[in-house]
Amino acid sequence: HMLDEPPEGFPEPLNPTNFKEELSKGLHIIDFYSPYCPHCKHLAPVWMETWEEFKEESKTLNITFSQVNCIESADLCGDENIEYFPEIRLYNPSGYIKSFTETPRTKESLIAFARRESMDPNNLDTDLDSAKSESQYLEGFDFLELIAGKATRPHLVSFWPTKDMKNSDDSLEFKNCDKCHEFQRTWKIISRQLAVDDINTGHVNCESNPTICEELGFGDLVKITNHRADREPKVALVLPNKTSNNLFDYPNGYSAKSDGYVDFARRTFTNS
């Protein structure tokens, strides 16, 4: 059955006054919505049922389903860079981690997401939140030097649809790239893990380096060609001390998890 009315105990939306304090209590999956958007209205009963079904497990797993009404709390949604409604996001006490982008949005998929994320130790690693990315800002010239074989260490390089990202932790707006914000955190994890192996990381702004990105086949990061928000950062490894066959695209699809990228960099370097 579908709920029309909020179930007993269903919480009020979070607001600017209690948002930070509530976040400090654990992980939260937050539905940023407008009461007027059709997709939000469609989600509302699903959200209430999800909350109801999950409320006991919520306490054991320390992850809570919450909401923010972006019409009542417009400044809060602005500060959080909410770009569309409804946007469902995972937060830890330090802030945004990633978005939930699966469709259709069902009770089952939301609960599966909550269970999965509650088990990921990176999500409550507050040392990580205060740590900085090790990734170096690469101008087009720097990247061309790498592929010309001038580097002495391997470099795992990420490519982004922006011209403004000096530090890969910078808080920015990315156009038509739902995955970009979450991948900033992933990229920080990757950069810190690879630093231990003496593998450097760097990032390239594709809007400032259209030729490089187009030649690599990352033309979609240079300009917006459709209305969809499905652009994703790309990753490639450059091996040192070689002038040809030294560039390897990350062969698996996009992931918000660091492991695949870290393994790829280590393995490709070791095998060379």
Give the binding site for ligand NAG (CB under 6 A): 25-26, 62, 93, 124
Q: Which is nearer to ligand NAG, 11 or 217 (by Cβ)?
A: 11
CB of 20 to ligand NAG, least distance (A): 13
Q: Of all helices (H) and strands (E), which one includes residue 27?
A: strand 27-33
Q: Which is nearer to ligand NAG, 123 or 184 (by Cβ)?
A: 123
Q: Which is nearer to ligand NAG, 62 or 252 (by Cβ)?
A: 62
Q: Which is nearer to ligand NAG, 43 or 124 (by Cβ)?
A: 124
Region of residue 245 (left: phi > 0; alpha: psi -120 to 50; beta: else):
left
CB of 185 to ligand NAG, least distance (A): 16
CB of 26 to ligand NAG, least distance (A): 3
* 184's tokens: 């900033």
Residue with nearest beta carbon to ligand NAG: 26
> 3-class DSSP state for residue 204?
strand
Q: If you write DSSP's letter for every residue of 122-164 in order, what string do you get?
A: GGG-HHHHHS---PEEE-HHHHHHHHTT--SS-EEEEEES-S-
CB of 19 to ligand NAG, least distance (A): 15
CB of 237 to ligand NAG, least distance (A): 34
CB of 227 to ligand NAG, least distance (A): 38
How many helices (H) does the chain have, and how many strands (E)?
A: 9, 9
Say which residues have a Cβ less than 8 Å from residue 45's Cβ, sequence separation at least 6. Answer: 2, 3, 4
Q: Which is nearer to ligand NAG, 62 or 211 (by Cβ)?
A: 62
Q: Which is nearer to ligand NAG, 28 or 231 (by Cβ)?
A: 28
* Number of C-beta neighbours around residue 166 at 10 A: 10
Q: Which is nearer to ligand NAG, 37 or 61 (by Cβ)?
A: 61
Determine the residue type at 134.
Answer: E
CB of 113 to ligand NAG, least distance (A): 18
Q: Which is nearer to ligand NAG, 66 or 209 (by Cβ)?
A: 66
CB of 114 to ligand NAG, least distance (A): 14
Residue with the two structure tokens 């539905």: 31
Q: If you write DSSP's letter for every residue of 39-81 in order, what string do you get?
A: HHHHHHHHHHHHHHHHHHHHHHHTEEEEEEETTTTHHHHHHTT
Residue with the two structure tokens 């306490």: 59
> 3-class DSSP state for residue 269?
helix
Could you give the count of Cα atoms lying within 13 Å of 265 in the half-sphere of its Cβ? 28
